[in-house]
Amino acid sequence: MKETDLYPLLKTYLEELGFTVQAEVNNVDVVAIKEDVLLIVEMKTQLNLKLIYQGCQRQKISDIVYLAVPTLNNKKTLKERLHVLRRLNLGLLEVNLEKGTVEALIDPTEFVFRRSKRNKQKLLKEMSKRVTNINIGGTNNKLVTSYRESAIKIAYYLQDGEKTTKELRELSGVLKATSFLQKNYYNWFERVHRGVYGLSDQGKMELTQYAEIFEDLKLR
């Protein structure tokens, strides 16, 4: 497939909308004019960074700039890139060569920022509850969240034997220790009998991975 394969369908599509269309005008792939409206289209066989950059450059000439690519099958990738294009005020035309159609997936409209108060508060809450600073940005390893920190505290005091929920609550300082033990999210705990818990083999093994933060968590 070549970029030129997209042009005939794009030309027909724009002409049906009442535009006069020319290709390769001063290094611009497609230029369309209707009355005082100037529309620019940049074509590529893939929706890549180079095409997006070209689109941004064309915004120096016109407010109405579209990118045109063949049918995009990866819906997740498409969703992510549509979000970027909206923020950049770029439109996107999808050219289906098999069906002979062109569809405007998004039009160039000014992006309105909508920030999530809920997510912001959730982020700030997690930040304020954390004690340690062991995580490394960009890693795929298990993160030490404030929840995991509390679980580590409880597990730490089970190393020398089973204890009651009351004892663990007092030793660890985790007020909701009983909930952590019952939910057992990390499979670290074992219920010995009512109100008494011990450390599982998995808990014993994985707890050693966090020895470097025991001091930060004020564990002795």
In this structure, are 83 and 163 located in the same domain?
A: no
- Residue 145: pLDDT band with limits 50, 70, 90: confident
Of 28-42, 51-65, 85-99, 123-137, least confident by mean pLDDT is 123-137
- Would you say residue 219 lies in a domain? no
In this structure, are 10 and 89 located in the same domain?
A: yes
Helix (H) or strand (E) holding 20: strand 20-25
What does pTM read for this prediction?
Answer: 0.57
Average pLDDT over residues 149-169: 90
pLDDT value at residue 127? 66
DSSP letter for each residue of 196-217? EEEE-HHHHHHHGGGGGGTTTT
Domain containing 147 — which CATH number?
1.10.10.10
- Would you say residue 132 lies in a domain? no
- Residue 136: pLDDT band with limits 50, 70, 90: very low
What domain range is 20 assigned to? 3-106
Domain containing 17 — which CATH number?
3.40.1350.10
Residue 56 confidence (pLDDT) above 90: yes
Helix (H) or strand (E) holding 192: strand 189-193
Residue 10 confidence (pLDDT) above 60: yes
Q: Which long-range contacts (CB under 8 A, 24 or more apart) does 106-114 make?
A: 106/82, 108/63, 108/64, 108/65, 108/66, 111/86, 111/87
Length of the chain, in residues: 220
8 A C-beta contact, residue 146 and residue 130: yes
In this structure, are 92 and 159 located in the same domain?
A: no
8 A C-beta contact, residue 198 and residue 162: yes
- Would you say residue 165 lies in a domain? yes
Residue 149 confidence (pLDDT) above 70: yes
Residue 91 confidence (pLDDT) above 70: yes
In this structure, are 92 and 10 located in the same domain?
A: yes
Considering its fold, how many domains does the chain have in total?
Answer: 2
- Would you say residue 220 lies in a domain? no
Residue 163 confidence (pLDDT) above 50: yes
pLDDT value at residue 214? 79
Average pLDDT over residues 118-137: 64
pLDDT tens, position by position, 173-219: 889 999 999 999 999 999 999 989 999 999 999 888 888 877 777 67
Q: Which of 54, 84, 106 is the last residue of a domain?
A: 106
pLDDT value at residue 129? 64
- Residue 117: pLDDT band with limits 50, 70, 90: confident
Residue bearing the bigger pLDDT, 2 or 28? 28
